[in-house]
Amino acid sequence: MALKDKSILVVGAGSIGGIAAAFLKKAGYNVEIVCKYEDYRDIISNEGLKVSGVKGSFSEKMRAFVSVKDIANKKDIILLAVKATDMVEAAEDLKPFLKRNSLVISMQNGICEPELGRILGNDHIVGCIVGWGATMNKAGDLEMTSTGDFVIGYIDRIEDERLKEIAELLGTILPVRITGNIMGHLYSKLIINSCITSLGAITGLLLGQMMRMSRARRLFIEIIREAIELADVLQIKVEDYGNKLNYYEFISGRNSYFDVKRHITLILMGLKYRRLKSSSLQSLQRGKLTEIDYLNGYISASGREYGIPTPINESIVKMIHEIEDGERQITPANLDEEVFEKYYK
């Protein structure tokens, strides 16, 4: 069957899922989308998804549903672009709609692929890093804020023709790289998110404001150190982040020379991306749950499973849950918690 004849379902009509769906529809693919809300469904069906930003402006109408359960037929390719917190439920709903050869592209933040594999079977899962940025200005009004690429790969086997077909499909949107080490790429992104997103959420600060503080930089370093020590046990070879930050080099060396180097790296990162606002912070400020269990939570849960201590990541997970439950304020003073003190000396 030709790729253009395959049935494609995008689950999740946030900025990433919505933009992907609109680009694929524009390129002539057979695309349907699942969003969560009836009014949003009506906008997509009647007015279309409006895309703007760095790759131009256009709008595309398509069939939309409020639930996976509403779709009529099994699908060949599914782009799963829900929040990580909704991933398990979406995957359970998808089970009846998979064909023997269907592929589900996991576009969530954090590492969701192993859990998706447990629910749907590893044969169906394609790991994916979305390396471009987007935001939703309002329902149906989506903006691509930065370009980049996709990195895709299987979590348990080498590439095949089906994966190349997925590369061709996503290549309609932006360039695609196929990797034999998708877990290394996913883990790499997970680490940086566990630093930037989570520390931003507990402090309420932009990255630039945060990286001015030596305490925040110290925790940043310790989160990475814990994550890399765990990666060794998990037998994950962590890829460089953005082809620039090599985590192994970053944490190597314990004396003050290496420490100064680490701080300068973070200061420069803070300078370059000083206006970056944590997505978890934005979720908390909107009264929504964060994806913490799939970020630092993945590190601390795996650490517990394999007997590797990850006290910093564990404390951050606890703090963010307390903020979600209304038991803790978002404030830079969270960096002064006793549990962190020994890392500042």
Partner 1 sequence: MDELFIKATKNSPEIALSPDGTLSFKGRSIHENAQDFFNTVLDWIDEYINTPADTTFVDLQLEYFNSATAKYIIVMLQKLKEVRLKDKKYYVNWFYEEGDEDILERGEYFASVLDMDFNFVEIT
- Regarding 270 and contact with partner 1 (CB under 8 A), the answer is yes
Q: What is the DSSP string of 6-55?
A: SEEEEE--SHHHHHHHHHHHHTT-EEEEE-S-HHHHHHHHHT-EEEEETT
Comparing CB distances to partner 1, the nearer of 260 and 339 is 260
- Regarding 173 and contact with partner 1 (CB under 8 A), the answer is no
- Regarding 242 and contact with partner 1 (CB under 8 A), the answer is no
Angle subtended by helix axes 113-120 and 182-203, to nearest 10: 120
Are 108 and 84 a contacting pair, CB within 8 Å? yes
Structure tokens at 74: 């099994």
Comparing CB distances to partner 1, the nearer of 117 and 204 is 204
Which among 96-104, 222-230, 266-274, 310-318 is the span making contact with partner 1, rule CB under 8 A? Answer: 266-274
Q: Which of 46, 137, 177, 271 is the binder for partner 1 (CB under 8 A)? A: 271
Are 119 and 92 a contacting pair, CB within 8 Å? yes
Q: Which of 47, 67, 180, 268 is the binder for partner 1 (CB under 8 A)? A: 268
Residues in contact with partner 1, counted by CB under 8 A, come to a total of: 10
Comparing CB distances to partner 1, the nearer of 267 and 276 is 267
Q: Enumerate residues 6+ apart whose C-beta is below 8 A from 139.
A: 37, 39, 40, 43
Q: Which of 267, 276, 301, 308 is the binder for partner 1 (CB under 8 A)? A: 267
Other CB atoms within 10 A of residue 161 CB? 6
Structure tokens at 32: 């349907």
First to last CA, the chain: 62
Are 1 and 166 a contacting pair, CB within 8 Å? no
What's the closest the beta carbon of residue 220 comes to partner 1, in angstroms?
13
Tell me the backbone φ, ψ of residue 165, rounded to 5 degrees: -65, -40
What's the closest the beta carbon of residue 212 comes to partner 1, in angstroms?
4
Q: Which of 233, 264, 333, 339 is the binder for partner 1 (CB under 8 A)? A: 264
Are 57 and 146 a contacting pair, CB within 8 Å? no
Which among 28-36, 52-60, 167-175, 267-275 is the span making contact with partner 1, rule CB under 8 A? Answer: 267-275
**Positions 300 through 319 that interact with partner 1 (CB under 8 A):** none
Distance CA 145, CA 148 (A): 10
Comparing CB distances to partner 1, the nearer of 233 and 260 is 260
Find the Cα–Cα–Cα–Cα dihedral 167, 197, 112, 164, rounded to 10°: 10
What's the closest the beta carbon of residue 215 comes to partner 1, in angstroms?
13
Comparing CB distances to partner 1, the nearer of 140 and 270 is 270
What's the closest the beta carbon of residue 203 comes to partner 1, in angstroms?
15
Binding to partner 1 by CB under 8 A, coded x per residue (else -) over 200-229, reads --------x--xx-----------------
Residues contributing to the site for partner 1 (CB under 8 A)? 208, 211-212, 264, 267-268, 270-272, 274
